């Protein structure tokens, strides 16, 4: 899966990818204030998109629901214990 980075002049940077169903999913990180907007489209009309602005706490809760924090915690624990194949 390829992640695309698209500069949005005067706004920030959009990180996005295309799902197996052809939907575009992305996060817009704003220059000012670090606000993050979750965006997606239906894959048919590129000009049709929905967005949702998340607070920091909401973004962390979503990451937790998606299992991201478990992956990060597991990787950190492996590094701390010095498991083979991991940097200490």
Mean pLDDT by runs of 10 across the 88 residues of the chain is 92 92 90 89 78 87 83 62 44
pTM over 0.85: no
Q: What is the pLDDT of residue 73?
A: 65
Residue 37 contacts residue 25 (beta carbons within 8 Å): no
Residue 56: its pLDDT value, please? 81
State the DSSP code for 62.
Answer: H
């Amino acid at each position: 899966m390829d992640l695309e980075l698209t500069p949005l002049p005067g706004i920030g940077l959009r990180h996005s990818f295309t799902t197996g169903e052809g939907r575009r999913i992305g996060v817009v990180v704003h220059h000012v204030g670090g606000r993050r907007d979750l965006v997606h489209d239906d894959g048919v009309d590129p000009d049709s998109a929905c967005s949702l602005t998340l607070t920091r706490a909401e973004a962390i809760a979503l990451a937790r629901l998606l299992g991201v924090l478990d992956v990060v915690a597991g990787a950190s624990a492996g590094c701390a214990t010095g498991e083979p194949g991991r940097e200490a």
